[in-house]
Amino acid sequence: MEAPALSLKNVRKNFGPVEIIRGVDLDIARGERHAIIGPNGAGKTTLFNLISGRFPISSGSIALNGTRIDQLPPQNISRLGLSRSFQITSIFHRMTVFENIRCALLWSSGYRYSFWSPLWTQKALNRQAEQLLDELNLASRRDLQAGLLSYAEQRALEIGITIAGGATVVLLDEPTAGMSHSETEYAQALIRRVTEGKTLLMVEHDMGVVFGLADRISVVVYGQVIASGKPEDIRNDRAVKEAYLGALTE
């Protein structure tokens, strides 16, 4: 059998004396769209930080397509085809929108640390960046400093940077947080389009987006996965209702 795209085994993390992630087991099959839901402070972002190598784990193991990644620095994990977005927008503020996207393409296009290939002659690279800008609906903002974009545009750029490098496993942390209804709908369509054929792991609070996109859902509460399954199962799960969904519908 093919190894799962992402596999977490008994992952734990503590900051000082406090254990924030308390033994998470999670398998995500290739091509699956998996949503993680849970109350604020449950440890969802921390989980992403552990998977992507931002923080070291305290114990357990994480594997990407069957390879252990829990001891690797973020850049090496990224090179293995895992990419993530940030809940708090993390872009290159003083560079133009186009440059932001192009930077995100560089490594996967094999440029590495090249200081001998002039970027303006790299037709294929530039075309790819333009195309992505079109897809993100940011073409009209091409030469604007990224820091001057509107919030929703910055979120779109955040997603763009995340998927630009052609990662096969994509982690999105609350991609629609703070968006209006119409913006959310647009973002949902965008995410569906750009993650076609990829493995998606997504933290999301908007239940419309979650149930619209996800094949499977895991519920994280207080650093543990309390339920994991198909959307309809989760919707009907008593424990989940009590712990989380109930709080929302009250």
**Using alpha carbons only, what angle is made at residue 157 by residues 155 and 163, rounded to the nearest 5 degrees?**
110
Position 212, amino acid = G
Nearest Cα residue to 97 out of 186, 25, 159, 174:
159
89 binds Mg ion (CB under 5 A): no
**String marking each residue 10-39 x if it binds ligand ADP according to CB under 6 A:** -----x----x-----------------x-
Nearest Cα residue to 28 out of 202, 189, 162, 177:
202
Q: What is the DSSP letter of 44?
A: H
* Window of 2-10, 42-50, 95-103, 164-172 that interacts with ligand ADP by CB under 6 A: 42-50
Closer residue to other proteins (CB): 59 or 67: 67
Classify 100 as helix, strand or coil.
Answer: helix
Classify 179 as helix, strand or coil.
Answer: coil
Token representation of residue 84: 């993530």
Closer residue to other proteins (CB): 99 or 215: 99
119 binds other proteins (CB under 8 A): yes
Nearest Cα residue to 51 out of 11, 10, 104:
11
214 binds ligand ADP (CB under 6 A): no
Which of 14, 87, 89, 96 touches Mg ion (CB under 5 A)? Answer: 87
Rg (CA), the chain: 18
Token representation of residue 86: 């940030």
Distance CA(21)–CA(222), nearest Å, equals 8
Token representation of residue 20: 């924030």
144 binds other proteins (CB under 8 A): yes
Distance CA(6)–CA(155), nearest Å, equals 25
198 binds other proteins (CB under 8 A): no
Closer residue to Mg ion (CB): 42 or 190: 42
Nearest Cα residue to 206 out of 178, 226, 230:
178
Minimum separation from the CB atom of position 46 to ligand ADP (A): 3
Closer residue to other proteins (CB): 148 or 247: 148
Closer residue to other proteins (CB): 146 or 221: 146
Minimum separation from the CB atom of position 45 to Mg ion (A): 3
Closer residue to ligand ADP (CB): 42 or 164: 42
Which of 45, 162, 195, 228 touches ligand ADP (CB under 6 A)? Answer: 45
Token representation of residue 18: 């406090």
Closer residue to ligand ADP (CB): 152 or 177: 177
Position 209, amino acid = V
Footprint on this chain of other proteins (rule: CB under 8 A):
52, 54, 73-75, 78-79, 83-84, 86, 90-96, 99, 102-104, 106-108, 111-120, 143-145, 148, 161, 165
Footprint on this chain of ligand ADP (rule: CB under 6 A):
15, 20, 38, 40-46
Footprint on this chain of Mg ion (rule: CB under 5 A):
45, 87
